[in-house]
Amino acid sequence: MTAAVIYVDDPELSVTASGALRIDGIGAADLAERFGTPLHVISETRLRRNYRRFRDAFAQRWPAPVAVYFAQKSNPSLALRSTLTQEGAGGDCLGANELRAALMAGADPARLVLNGNDKTDEALALAVACGARVNVDDLDEIDRLAAVAAEAGRTVEVGIRTKPDLEAFAARGSEMMDLTVRDYAAVSKWGLDPAAAAHAVEAIRARPELRLVGLHYHLGRHFSHPDLFALVVPGMAALVGLLRDRTGWTPEALTVGGGFTQGRDPFFRKPGPGEPWPQAADCFVAPIEAFADALCGELQQALRARDLPLPVLGLEPGRFITASAGLTLTRVGTIKQGPARRWVMVDVSVAQLGMSRSPRDAHAIVVADGSARDEAVTCDVVGPLCVLDVVMEQAPLPAVGRGSLLAVLDTGGYADGEASNANSIGRPAVVLVRDGAADLIRRRETFDDVFARDEIPARLLAAGEPPPWPIGP
């Protein structure tokens, strides 16, 4: 019997009367038994729902067409990309491999954009060959791209990655670094400042192989409030106006990047001393419709005030679509009690959760197999790595024992994609679940996988018998 859903906006997560977690119609304990742990689990239903909700939020508020480019970096699985292809999503691809992967997963090349600084010749050639748009990030890329297109005898759609002046952020600090958002944008490597963007417009329009369609901008996440997008607008609209005045050109498409979040949003959420650790029922972020209101309202007004036409609105959501669709199952091993701390040791590491890159992440953790006893005990949940490897720090967890199953929530974005083989540990398997069925979409890495790139030069090999002890996956 299933009890009521207790998690924020998560109809795909439910808990049985005995406390067992079910994900998209299948028991967490069954999944762990069948596929082992640690295990990334993605709810296909939630993934599709996130995409539709995002698309509709903007499509209902922007009077011109909206183009959603799924940011593949947030979860590079081919099966996820295939699911979103079925939904009609375009794609934001950084580099040749993301572009190739999107094509392998059936994405429509006309809905793909190639982003990134210092793009390789290989990436440019692939984009030209398949018909993806290229957002150029430097003036020299224009000549390189035109040469590739001329050689292929093709015309390529081009956008310009810009760096508008973000005066509106002059006093606004980033939650992610000790800089104002404006200063962060100024020192970041991406995009062309307004003067360089005007040169780019002219240089692109002078090349018959290139068709200039739009402007691109991605600020990234600095705080999870809809203001983030409203404050980008003045700089962006000023830039569009400046380009029109200097060159006579106005963009058919304006892409404002990603950075949209929802629900428990674990990124940079680590609480300060004495503050509570995120819980499953928490919600830190305004609904996406509020982000869409802020962005669409301000942008329309600012463009209309300058008598500029409304372009196609491009959006590149990553974490909004993937993060809440995923969780990671992990088993408890040793529980160690010291004088100052209690450590609940689990088989997943921060390196497998993408947390090694941003140690300020904080994911809610729940007991997934009904093995929780009533009383909660303050503990650190730690993984096996040779660094502190703290998955949850000084927060209450219902008392569990060796073999208990935990679920780290909201790991669908930037966990598997940014995982490493720290301490030579293989990355977890990934399963896609939907309506009670589960498919393996990435197998667990074996010892052989981890060392597949290695060679020992013959001169270093000890001659003689193979070692007597077992070496295997």
Under the criterion CB under 6 A, does residue 258 sit at the interface with ligand PLP? yes
DSSP state, 172? P
Q: With CB under 6 A as the contact rule, which of the stretches 80-88, 103-111, 139-147, 313-321 interacts with ligand PLP?
A: 313-321
Q: 79-98: which residues touch ligand PLP (CB under 6 A)? A: 92
Under the criterion CB under 6 A, does residue 115 sit at the interface with ligand PLP? yes
Q: With CB under 6 A as the contact rule, which of the stretches 35-43, 193-201, 258-266, 296-304 interacts with ligand PLP?
A: 258-266
Report d(CA 387, CA 101) in Å as an integer.
Answer: 33
Element (H, E) at 465: none
How many C-alpha atoms does 226 have within 13 Å on its Cβ side? 13
Under the criterion CB under 6 A, does residue 354 sit at the interface with ligand PLP? no
Neighbours of 221 (CB within 10 A): 17
Min separation Cβ 253 and ligand PLP, Å = 14
Report d(CA 460, CA 473) in Å as an integer.
Answer: 23
Size of interface with ligand PLP, in residues (CB under 6 A): 16
| 315 alpha carbon, distance to own chain's centre | 13
Q: Binding pattern to ligand PLP, positions 259-278, x when CB under 6 A?
A: xx------------------
Min separation Cβ 202 and ligand PLP, Å = 24
Residue 27 or 191 with smaller CB distance to ligand PLP: 191
Contact 390, 348 (CB under 8 A): no
Does residue 454 sit in helix, strand or coil?
coil
CA dihedral 214, 215, 220, 225 (to 10 degrees): -90
Helices (H), 87-226: 95-104, 121-130, 139-152, 181-187, 194-205
Min separation Cβ 166 and ligand PLP, Å = 16
Among 20, 23, 47, 71, binds ligand PLP (CB under 6 A): 71
Residue 177 or 206 with smaller CB distance to ligand PLP: 177
Q: With CB under 6 A as the contact rule, which of the stretches 77-85, 254-262, 269-277, 355-363 interacts with ligand PLP?
A: 254-262
Among 22, 182, 207, 218, binds ligand PLP (CB under 6 A): 218
Min separation Cβ 358 and ligand PLP, Å = 12
Min separation Cβ 320 and ligand PLP, Å = 6
Among 90, 214, 317, 383, binds ligand PLP (CB under 6 A): 317
Report d(CA 447, CA 435) in Å as an integer.
Answer: 33
Per-residue CA distances from 222 to 71, 117, 409 (Å): 18, 21, 22
Dihedral sign, Cα of residue 162, residue 163, residue 167, residue 169 = positive
Under the criterion CB under 6 A, does residue 165 sit at the interface with ligand PLP? no
Does residue 395 sit in helix, strand or coil?
strand
Residue 182 or 218 with smaller CB distance to ligand PLP: 218
Q: With CB under 6 A as the contact rule, which of the stretches 125-133, 136-144, 312-320, 374-382 interacts with ligand PLP?
A: 312-320
DSSP state, 16? B
Min separation Cβ 360 and ligand PLP, Å = 15
Residue 115 or 349 with smaller CB distance to ligand PLP: 115
DSSP for 261-308 reads --TT--TT-PPPTTSPPP-TT---S--HHHHHHHHHHHHHHHHHHTTP
- Given 130, 283, 296, 386, which residue is catalytic? 386
Min separation Cβ 419 and ligand PLP, Å = 16
Under the criterion CB under 6 A, does residue 291 sit at the interface with ligand PLP? no
Residue 232 or 438 with smaller CB distance to ligand PLP: 232
245 beta partners: none
Q: Which two tokens stand for residue 435?
A: 């309506």
Dihedral sign, Cα of residue 138, residue 143, residue 148, residue 150 = positive
Min separation Cβ 135 and ligand PLP, Å = 8
Under the criterion CB under 6 A, does residue 144 sit at the interface with ligand PLP? no
Length of the chain: 473
Among 12, 316, 369, 418, binds ligand PLP (CB under 6 A): 316
Is residue 386 flagged as an active site residue? yes
Min separation Cβ 259 and ligand PLP, Å = 4
Under the criterion CB under 6 A, does residue 43 sit at the interface with ligand PLP? no
How many C-alpha atoms does 471 have within 13 Å on its Cβ side? 6
Phi and psi for 317 in degrees, rounded to 5? -75, 135
212 beta partners: 158
Residue 91 or 311 with smaller CB distance to ligand PLP: 91
Residue 130 or 256 with smaller CB distance to ligand PLP: 256
> What residue ranges bind ligand PLP (CB under 6 A)?
71, 73-74, 92, 115, 218, 221, 257-260, 316-320
Catalytic positions are 386
